[in-house]
């Protein structure tokens, strides 16, 4: 686990880091006041960093669950011995009185140490993600041990196995079965890392059953209503920045810089459309990057649009530099007057991820086809369509959005740090730029 890993760290990484033991021998840290009972949990800081990224990958189910505003706690519980447990013939070795790590019946010996008799109980570590409202929304429970250090080492081994399973799905989700699952709404491909040790709670429906379209929309409305309230109280609070942990906005901006240098557009005049704009942060970032053309953000959540407009007002942009936000359901409505003659650049940061998992009624066109045809119509001839996804690989996005018979073709891919873990290589986010064909 000592391979190089992405150093893109953010608040979520830092909060998780605070919950995990440091790179020190157990027992040599004030917070983790354990006794030395074996090898260190981490050999080096890069070793620990890689483990933290593994935990984030599993907890967020490879980015499909947003835990940006969550806190993390590592909890320990005691599991009693099963009825079939047989006591060992050799007692456990003595441990200093200062140890609170080992479970079992204790008796003090003459030299001042505690003799611990193994009673079959075990320490079970559980890492939980806690929402601002105090609800546990995700957890990892792996391994057990006679004491906390032993349990932590078992926890790490379990996480390694679990990550291998998660990354093993990266290359498999593009198959026919995965595509069928995604189109029909019975799975979420790359983010399908479920099973023993990973739990998303509360669960109101079968894990593989996608929520109804209206339920999803109500969920977003509720989330943005909360962010509207937060922004009204603290104008500097602009809400969640999607894929912030992966520095996706920076990667998208760098990709756009390269494409502009190659002559695909001019930022002083290019019209830009942001699909599923949320709080509009991507477009505000483009203004900061001196994009001077018309910027339009659309979202099917009315509260999202209201939030983005209020943030725009609070930013007090110069005249002519305002950003336009409109309510629009791209699956069920034609574009409004904001469409004009089309856009030189169309952006999507997570919207296709959500749409590709929505269920469709029998006889309806696959939702991915509806999305692709709509997106093709939004871009001008030779215009760009830039998609950021945490659910699908570059190859899968190309198969779905740029089929031979379609109107888009692959142009470039953004650069993200990759990491190696468990013998596999991967990255948590991918951004792909497509170009609209001249004949489309």
Q: For 379-399, write each residue's pLDDT tens digit.
A: 999 999 999 988 788 998 999
pLDDT at position 23: 72
pLDDT at position 48: 84
Q: Above 90 in pLDDT, residue 340?
A: yes
Q: Above 60 in pLDDT, residue 403?
A: yes
Distance in angstroms (rounded) separating the CA atoms of residues 440 and 436: 7
Task: Give the contacts of 203 (CB within 8 A, at least 6 positions apart).
Answer: none
The SS3 call for residue 379 is strand
Nearest to 187 by CA among 171, 202, 174, 203: 174
pLDDT at position 192: 31
pLDDT at position 6: 36
Mean pLDDT is lowest, of 237-246, 291-300, 410-419, for: 237-246
Q: Above 70 in pLDDT, residue 35?
A: no
Say what percent of the chain tops pLDDT 90: 27
Distance in angstroms (rounded) separating the CA atoms of residues 208 and 210: 6
Q: Above 70 in pLDDT, residue 262?
A: yes
Q: Note the Cα 99 to chain centre separation in Å.
A: 37
Instruction: Return the structure tokens found at 419.
Output: 């990491």
Report, in angstroms and rounded to the nearest whole number, the Rg of the chain calculated over CA atoms: 25
Q: What is the mean pLDDT of the chain?
A: 75
Task: Give the contacts of 166 (CB within 8 A, at least 6 positions apart).
Answer: 57, 58, 61, 62, 193
407 within 8 A of 379, measured Cβ to Cβ = no
- Around Cβ 377, how many Cβ atoms within 10 Å? 16
Instruction: Return the structure tokens found at 107.
Output: 């008796």
Task: Give the contacts of 370 (CB within 8 A, at least 6 positions apart).
Answer: 331
What strands, in cross-sheet order, belong to the sheet with 408-413?
A: 324-327, 295-299, 272-275, 343-349, 379-389, 430-436, 408-413
* 430-436 and 379-389 beta bridge pairing: antiparallel
pLDDT at position 47: 79
| DSSP label of 147 | B
Distance in angstroms (rounded) separating the CA atoms of residues 371 and 355: 8
Q: Above 70 in pLDDT, residue 423?
A: no
Q: What is the pLDDT of residues 193-241, one digit of tens each?
A: 323 333 333 323 333 344 455 656 666 667 777 777 776 777 777 766 7
Instruction: Return the structure tokens found at 67.
Output: 């835990």
Residues 326-348 have a mean pLDDT of: 94
pLDDT at position 204: 32
CA distance to 88, 103, 104, 120, 344, per residue, from 82 (Å): 14, 15, 14, 8, 65
The SS3 call for residue 252 is helix
Q: Above 70 in pLDDT, residue 105?
A: no
Pick 78 or 215 by higher pLDDT. Answer: 78
């Amino acid at each position: 686990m000592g391979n190089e890993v992405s150093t893109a760290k953010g608040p979520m990484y830092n909060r998780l880091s605070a919950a995990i033991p440091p790179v020190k021998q157990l027992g040599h840290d004030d917070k983790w006041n354990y006794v030395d009972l074996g090898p260190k949990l981490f050999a080096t800081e890069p070793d620990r960093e890689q483990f933290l990224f593994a935990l984030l990958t599993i907890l967020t189910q490879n980015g499909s669950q947003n835990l940006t505003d969550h806190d993390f706690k590592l909890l320990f519980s005691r599991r009693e011995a099963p009825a079939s447990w047989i006591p060992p013939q050799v007692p456990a070795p003595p441990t200093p009185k200062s140890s609170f790590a080992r479970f079992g019946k204790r008796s003090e010996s003459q030299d001042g140490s505690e003799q611990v008799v193994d009673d079959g109980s075990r320490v079970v570590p559980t890492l939980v993600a806690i929402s601002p409202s105090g609800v546990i929304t995700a957890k990892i429970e792996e391994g057990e041990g006679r004491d906390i250090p032993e349990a932590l080492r078992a926890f790490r081994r379990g996480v390694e196995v679990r990550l291998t399973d998660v990354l093993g799905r990266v290359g498999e989700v593009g198959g026919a079965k995965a595509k069928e699952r995604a189109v029909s709404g019975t799975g979420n491909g790359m983010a399908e890392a479920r099973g023993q040790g990973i739990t998303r709670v509360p669960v109101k429906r079968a894990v593989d059953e996608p929520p109804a379209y209206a339920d999803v929309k109500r969920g977003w409305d509720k989330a943005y209503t909360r962010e509207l309230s937060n922004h009204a109280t603290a104008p500097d609070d602009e809400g969640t920045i999607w894929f912030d942990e992966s520095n996706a906005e920076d990667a998208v901006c760098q990709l756009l810089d390269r494409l502009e240098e190659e002559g695909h557009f001019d930022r002083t005049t290019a019209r830009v459309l942001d699909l599923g704009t949320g709080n509009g942060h991507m477009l505000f970032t483009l203004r900061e990057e001196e994009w001077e053309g018309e910027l339009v953000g659309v979202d099917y959540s009315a509260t999202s649009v209201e939030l983005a407009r209020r943030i725009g007002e609070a930013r007090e942009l110069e005249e002519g530099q305002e950003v336009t936000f409109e309510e629009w359901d791209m699956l069920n409505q034609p574009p409004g007057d904001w469409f004009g003659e089309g856009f030189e650049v169309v952006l999507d940061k997570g919207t296709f991820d959500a749409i590709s998992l929505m269920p469709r009624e029998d006889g309806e066109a696959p939702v991915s086809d509806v999305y692709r045809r709509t997106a093709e119509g939004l871009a001008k001839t030779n215009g760009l369509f830039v998609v950021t996804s945490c659910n699908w690989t570059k190859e899968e996005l190309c198969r779905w959005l740029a089929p031979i018979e379609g109107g888009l073709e692959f142009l470039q891919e953004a650069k993200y740090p990759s990491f190696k873990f468990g013998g596999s290589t991967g990255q948590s986010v991918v951004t792909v730029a497509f170009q609209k064909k001249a004949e489309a």
